[in-house]
């Protein structure tokens, strides 16, 4: 009974699901209710991080950067993370869970990066040829 009453001192609720494309950073809804001031929130997100994702906090606002999209892998693009809140008295909340789904990759970003790389390579060829014509090598 004492443990149950202690848990009432702090509670945490994170949004159920976040969906987006790889490398996209999205806001995460986090709701903490606590009798005492919040000390920190700890996240169990090892698989998300291992695949290039991360959960971060900036001035009290939380966000998730989605990991790389795993082609032909079905469930590998779903990550379940959990969060636990701690107050400054050492009380902790029950864990709250969120599913992170990577729905694919951003084709515009890939096309943009490819175009930039092709333009850079073409400009480097022009610079080399111009330098070579002037007698400068390298």
User: Could you give the angle at the alpha carbon of 18 between the alpha carbons of 84 and 7, nearest 5°?
Assistant: 20
- Residues 18-21: contacts with CB within 8 Å, 24+ apart? 18/64, 18/66, 18/98, 18/99, 18/100, 18/101, 19/100, 19/101, 19/103, 20/66, 20/101, 20/102, 20/103, 21/66, 21/69, 21/102, 21/103, 21/104, 21/105, 21/106
Q: What is the CA radius of gyration of the chain?
A: 23
CATH superfamily to which 2-104 belongs: Immunoglobulins (2.60.40.10)
Sign of the CA dihedral with 27 first, then 98, 7, and 86 last? negative
Residues 12-71 have pLDDT tens digits of 999 999 999 999 999 999 999 999 999 999 999 999 999 999 999 999 999 999 999 988
Residues 63-116 have pLDDT tens digits of 999 999 988 766 689 999 999 999 999 999 999 999 999 998 765 555 555 555
Q: What's the pTM?
A: 0.70
């Amino acid at each position: 009974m004492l443990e149950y009453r202690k848990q009432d001192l702090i509670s945490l609720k994170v949004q159920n699901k976040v969906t987006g494309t790889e490398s996209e950073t999205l806001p995460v809804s986090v709701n903490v209710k606590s009798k005492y001031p919040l000390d920190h929130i700890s996240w169990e997100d090892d698989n998300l991080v291992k695949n290039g994702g991360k959960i971060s906090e900036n001035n009290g606002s939380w966000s998730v950067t989605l990991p790389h999209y795993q082609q032909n892998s079905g469930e590998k693009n779903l990550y379940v993370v959990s969060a636990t809140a701690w107050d400054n008295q050492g009380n902790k909340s029950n864990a709250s869970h969120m599913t992170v789904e990577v729905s694919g990759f951003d084709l515009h970003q890939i096309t943009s990066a490819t175009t930039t790389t092709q333009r850079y390579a073409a400009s480097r060829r022009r610079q080399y040829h111009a330098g070579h014509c002037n007698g400068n090598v390298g």
